[in-house]
Amino acid sequence: MCEVGEDYRESAPGGPPLTRPGREQKCVKCKEGPPVVVIRAGDAFCRDCFKVFYVHKFRAMLGKNRLIFPGEKVLLAWSGGPSSSSMVWQVLEGLSRDSAKRLRFVPGVIYVDGAVVVALTARVRLFCKVVIPHFPEGAACGRSPEDRARTLVEVEQVLQRVGFPSHVIALEEVFGLPPSVLRCFAQEPESVGTEGAYKAAVDSFLQQQCVLGAAGEEPWSQPRPQGPQSLAGPPTAVQTEALSGLFDSVKTLTAKEELLQTLRTHLILHVARTHGYSKVMAGDSCTRLAVKLMTSLALGRGAFLAWDTGFSDERHGDVVVVRPMREHTLKEVAFYNRLFAVPSVFTPAVDTKAPEKASIHRLMEAFLLRLQAQFPSTVSTVYRTSEKLVKAPRDGCAASPPGPRCLLCLCTLDVDSADSATAFGAQTSSHLCQMQAPGPQAEAGTPTTLCCCPGLGGAQGCCAREDPRARVVGQLCYGCRVNARDLPSLDSLPPYILAEAQLRSQRAGGEQEIQAYLLGDRDDEALPGGS
């Protein structure tokens, strides 16, 4: 996995020592300044050259893809961590008057407070007690209201320093989302990232800037709020209790992390649509995307790697998620934040202080980082592999209309009964439904009902009218189905998910009943007087 020309071995006994950065060494870029940062073996940068190198990566990623148009509203998903904080800082400096090439979009910041779900499940607590006897119980009890209040104060101070329009949302507000958040809306024609559309948008922006320049105004000038904004007031006790009960019922830490990420994405998507943002910036770094790629493969999400790890994610239609930090490693991010005093807020995550084997996410992260310490090109090799993934439809589905989407991750369903790498799970569930003993109605000769979910698992859709769990599971992709097994009862899910599942099931059932009364070509020929 090492790059060609790099040698990480120790020098042979009696041979010349390896060159290491010292006081006599100079910056590899300007050849003048003293080096303060060593990115790779032999790449020592001074402070100014490292900043130019870091900023160029961010700007080049945005300029190469040309997906963010001038004057477009972009929502920055800020978690308080190093990568997302560095991303917000890059946007802040790019919009300043001192910037050589100013950014031309209108930014906003969203912070999702999910501190209520930092408690581990009872099963993970038991596992931690067995593996690490001195594991602190405080990490398994969640954060107190006082700790959450102190964190929100720090968040508000950082947001006031940044000055962008901000939205501080509690994760409990997912219990008030509408079912429409799970629907894919068509993207506006002028927002499609083509070369001609981008040039037309730039020309229109420059003309508008010339007109407003005479009046001393700017296209993105707007009153900046003094404090964070929110969609609603603080979460109610009922919502907090429902969210805690939902995550306490999840059996594994892996499923809990996936569920937390899904709910956070739904909340950010709803805020973006409500406030007119057409793009969402995520602060995923190169190291984080490499871990995510390996984790997604282990979780059965190989069909969606191009969306989960690529620069752009268009699965939502009208709101596109972009990842401009995907060229930066965590080492570069840590050095930049340290040298240039980028503010960040530390908040415990679900897997904080969890052992290495507590979840697939922790296991893959420890595996890659341990391998990276021995072979420094491991992360870049995995990351470059993700760049080669193409977003192409399955064979035979390119000309057909888009099929049903997963109820949670909103990706196209990859479970079918024909030719699919994950068809075994659907066929197994369908076979179990068929092997069940017939009920009293079937024994009495009552005709069975038509399948309300064709293409979502065959006979599994027939059970959806009787079993609410089968109705929800039948509308999930393979990866989300695997995680749903660790949730004993789906009734604890937020109401908007259950409502959308019922609406899709009823719509599919109505379409199936209509198809039963339509005449096909063969039926038309069989009628008297048919051609």
How does pLDDT run across 236-245, given as a tens digit for each residue? 888 888 988 9
6 alpha carbon, distance to own chain's centre: 34
Q: How confident is the model at residue 142 (pLDDT cuts 50, 70, 90)?
A: low
Tell whether the model's pLDDT for residue 349 goes beyond 70: yes
Which residues pair with residue 108 across a beta bridge? 75
Within 10 angstroms of residue 205's Cβ, the number of other Cβ atoms is: 17
What CATH number is given for 67-187+224-388 in this structure? Answer: 3.40.50.620
Percent pLDDT > 70 in the chain is 67
* Residue 482 near residue 300, CB atoms below 8 Å: yes
Instruction: Please give the pLDDT value at position 275.
Output: 93
> Against a cut of 0.85, is the pTM above it?
no
Q: How confident is the model at residue 191 (pLDDT cuts 50, 70, 90)?
A: low
pLDDT one-digit tens code per residue, 47-63: 999 999 999 999 999 98
Please give the residue that has the higher pLDDT: either 123 or 510.
510
Q: How confident is the model at residue 530 (pLDDT cuts 50, 70, 90)?
A: low
Question: Which has the closest alpha carbon to 173: 90, 298, 266, 105?
Answer: 266
Question: Which has the closest alpha carbon to 353: 131, 112, 84?
Answer: 131
Percent pLDDT > 90 in the chain is 37
Q: How confident is the model at residue 514 (pLDDT cuts 50, 70, 90)?
A: confident
Q: Residues 425-431: contacts with CB within 8 Å, 24+ apart?
A: 425/478, 425/481, 425/482, 426/457, 426/458, 426/460, 427/458, 429/457, 429/460, 429/473, 430/457, 430/458, 430/459, 430/460
Q: How confident is the model at residue 33 (pLDDT cuts 50, 70, 90)?
A: confident
Instruction: Please give the pLDDT value at position 520.
Output: 60
Tell whether the model's pLDDT for residue 87 goes beyond 70: yes
Q: How confident is the model at residue 431 (pLDDT cuts 50, 70, 90)?
A: very low
Please give the residue that has the higher pLDDT: either 483 or 195.
483
The residue-averaged pLDDT of 308-314 equals 91
Query: In the chain, what are the domain boundaries?
Result: 26-55, 67-187+224-388
Please give the residue that has the higher pLDDT: either 95 or 522.
95
Tell whether the model's pLDDT for residue 332 goes beyond 60: yes
Q: How far apart are CA 248 and CA 235, in angstroms?
A: 18
Question: Which has the closest alpha carbon to 44: 22, 66, 65, 62?
Answer: 22
* Residue 403 near residue 455, CB atoms below 8 Å: yes
The residue-averaged pLDDT of 407-420 equals 72
Q: Dihedral angle at the C-alpha atoms of 516, 522, 527, 531, nearest 10 degrees? A: 140
pLDDT one-digit tens code per residue, 259-306: 999 999 999 999 999 999 999 999 999 999 999 999 999 999 988 898
Instruction: Please give the pLDDT value at position 416.
Output: 57
The length of the chain is 531
Q: Dihedral angle at the C-alpha atoms of 41, 43, 47, 52, nearest 10 degrees? A: -130
Instruction: Please give the pLDDT value at position 506.
Output: 86
DSSP state of 132: -
The residue-averaged pLDDT of 192-197 equals 62
Mean per-residue pLDDT of the chain: 76
